Chains A and B, each alone.
Chain A
Amino acid sequence: MIHYELMLLLRVMPKTELKTVLKRTANMIFEKGGIIRKLENLGTRDMPYKTSVHGVVYNKASYFLYEFNVPPTSIDQLLDEYGRDIDIIRRRIYKKIEPEQFECTLDDELKPPPYRKDVLALVEQSKKGDKPKFKYNTGLDYYPFQK
């Protein structure tokens, strides 16, 4: 199953109301046959930019992060249902990124162009379009007669 992350920005409200909203949003995931792995409160703070949804302009929001597994087909339904919830200012679902190891290519990128691998590949590619050159098949690396 794919690991998803849901970023929820909720309207600032008292604790009891917040509890019901979180329960409601969590239940939507359970209804789709999903599992919640983590629920994190990232605090209440000023948003970097104001957002107007459901006819109200918001400058502050409570940030919540869900980590969950759900069938990929139900992601669209989830986003649609959250979009119609008037307590939710903004919602985004992303795939959880797995840490990956790779070789740093900075050293190669800092070389002068004729030594770079990608430039060499380009040169090689441009040679493919050249017209075929006639070969004399004399076994010599020069033309033996006067031209």
Chain B
Amino acid sequence: MNSLLRRVPSYSIISNNSLRKLCSTDAPDFNMENPFEKDKQQCILCKQNIQVDYKNVRLLSQFQSPYTGRIYGKHITGLCAKQQDKLEKEIVKAQSAGLMATYLKEPVFLQDPELFDVEKPLRPHRF
């Protein structure tokens, strides 16, 4: 049996892949990355590289409801988890320090541009 194997000519043992390469030179390279992949999405604070700070009340109040003063959720603001977490902490700090209103958005900030559409949350909410 061993001697039989040895007699098999070496050129007949060609792997399937190399055979394909021999047949055609312009075979598609299947190891390439997905050419149709979309660009990575980034939240507005990461994209503009904004550091959230409790003294920047004008920015913080844009994430606050004008009716109740509550902070909008992640599914409405469209921020990543880390930025949303930081934002909520800074808002609490600002409200505690007497810089920011708690039960309403201050009337001076009511005309500020909207960063997101409140009516179109990413997932439905219970209100």
Q: Tell me if B's interface is mostly helix, strand, loop or mixed.
A: loop
Whether a CB of chain B sits under 8 angstroms from the CB of A97 is yes
Is A55 interfacial (CB-CB < 8 Å)?
Answer: no
> How many angstroms between the C-alpha atoms of A42 and B55 in the bound complex?
10
Q: Which parts of B72-127 form the interface with A (CB within 8 Å)? A: 78-83, 93, 95-103, 106, 122
Determine which of A47, A65, A97 lies in contact with B98 in the assembled complex, contact meaning CB atoms within 8 Å. A47
CB pair B97–A105 under 8 Å, yes or no, is no
Select the residue from A51, A89, A90 with max chain B CB neighbours within 10 A.
Answer: A90
Give the Cβ gap from B124 to chain A, nearest Cβ, in Å: 15
Distance (whole angstroms) from the CB of A135 to the closest CB of chain B: 34
B63 within 8 A of A: no
A:101-132 near B, CB below 8 Å: 102, 104-107, 109-110
Known contacts A94-B93, A97-B51; A106 and B98 CB within 8 A of each other: no
Which of A47, A89, A90, A106 has the largest number of chain B CB atoms within 10 A? A106
Within 8 A of B (CB), among A51-99: 51, 61, 63, 65, 89-90, 92, 94, 97, 99
The answer for the CA separation of A90 and B95 in the assembled complex, in Å, is: 12
Given contacts A94-B93, A105-B80, contact A48 B42 (CB under 8 A): no
Nearest CB of A to B117, in Å:
16
17 cross-chain CB contacts under 8 A: A7-B97, A9-B97, A48-B95, A48-B98, A48-B100, A49-B98, A90-B97, A92-B93, A92-B96, A94-B93, A94-B97, A97-B53, A105-B81, A105-B82, A106-B46, A106-B78, A109-B81
Binding site for B on A (CB under 8 A): 7, 9, 42, 47-49, 51, 61, 63, 65, 89-90, 92, 94, 97, 99, 102, 104-107, 109-110
